[in-house]
Amino acid sequence: MTRRSHLDNAGLAGLPPLAGDFGGDFYRGKRILVTGGTGSIGSQIVEQALAAGADVVRILSRDETKQLELEERLARHLDLARVRFLIGDVRDAARLSRAMEGIEIAFHAAAMKHVPACEYNPFEAVQTNVLGTQNVITSAREAGVARLVVISTDKATCPENTLGATKLLAERLVAAAHLSSPGLNLSAVRFGNVIGSRGSLAPRVLRQLEEEGCASLTHADMTRFMMTLQDAVSLVLEAGSRGQGGEIFILKMPVLRVLDLIEVLVEEHAARRGKPAGEFPIRVVGIRSGEKLHEILITDDEARRTHYDPKGLFVIEPLARAAVQDAKAAAEFQERLDSSRGPYLTRGEIRGLLSRGGVIAPLRKSSKAGSEAPAPRVVELLGKV
């Protein structure tokens, strides 16, 4: 039976919002580098670090147009005298070494992040996600950086695709460097799917509905852990301020069925056009190469050295420091961190998540088109489910 969660006044699915002080004044006066600093996550790390009083924030990325766009956005409300834009690639060790000079805290957000791109370009994914991460670690160690946070993904847990495999290797590089770099505090964070990030599911579905009048679904039973962009950035900054070294930080995230998410998006799209949702079919197109039906956040081994933090975090401790959980406690962690086991968000909760993530605006109470319209039609293509 499908299990459902319930919202209360504490936050989404009963989860309190992650504390937003990131260790109080921890980032005030610090010199910070963000690789991939023009991406959805990286640019928000930049903004939050500047708002927290960082002395200098350097942005390393490959795309000069995105840098110009970010510069214009930051100029509207922040002091650009504290910002440095650097064109560069994490594959370029020499450029990274220059970027790391004088830096105290580094956030490694640069990566290949999309499953199909990594599947069809596996060595490119290795060069960026594995060799690039090692370049970041090496340059940070040689430059005397005090703290480094590496961003990973739930796909690194028992990986079945190239993206997950490269991110698992990146996590292992962090673990190895933690043991061999006493002057560098390293930690990692594992994300679920980030609602509203560039190239993520919800914006793609809305764009598809606008341009094609239909939405694509790869499998009707697919489930995913979800987090907002704000929660993702809060997790990164929390890890940067409190990590003791070697940990992997994971946010306690809600779980949803992807079909429910797409149906909500179809209903929202239809309501805003005054049309019945049934006019916008959902096509089942089959699972893409490398795509998993469900995600898990921790392995059997990791569950035995994981503890739950009151701020809404699961923390996987490094082997050298872990207090091993008994088998029953470890099994409970695993059940809570397996998307196939729910509990799943209701449609109302999904709407709240999309609204909180800035993907949709709340409908006016007078708008009834979506609620009175027939449900979206799910159409199977080529016999794929």
Buried b vs exposed e over 146-179: b needs ≥16 C-beta within 10 Å?
ebbbbbbbbbbbebebbbbbbbbbbbebbbebbe
User: What DSSP designation does 231 have?
Assistant: H
From the list 30, 113, 155, 252, the catalytic residue is 155
Q: What is the DSSP string of 169-209?
A: HHHHHHHHHHHH-TT-EEEEEEE-EEET-TT-HHHHHHHHH
Q: Report the candidate in 225, 239, 254 with the shortest Cα–Cα distance to residue 12.
A: 254
Q: Report the candidate in 110, 176, 108 with the shortest Cα–Cα distance to residue 147.
A: 108
Distance between CA atoms of residues 246 and 181, nearest Å: 11
**Joined tokens for residue 134:** 């090692």
**Joined tokens for residue 117:** 């791109």
In the annotation, is 155 catalytic? Answer: yes
Q: What is the DSSP string of 349-365?
A: HHHHHHHHTTSSPPPPT
C-alpha angle with apex 112: 106 to 116, nearest 5 degrees?
160
Distance between CA atoms of residues 201 and 194, nearest Å: 9
User: What DSSP designation does 251 have?
Assistant: E
> Scanning the structure block, which residue is given the tokens 């490119």?
124
**Joined tokens for residue 276:** 């019945």
Q: Report the candidate in 279, 283, 268, 290 with the shortest Cα–Cα distance to residue 217.
A: 283
Q: Which residues belong to the active site?
A: 155
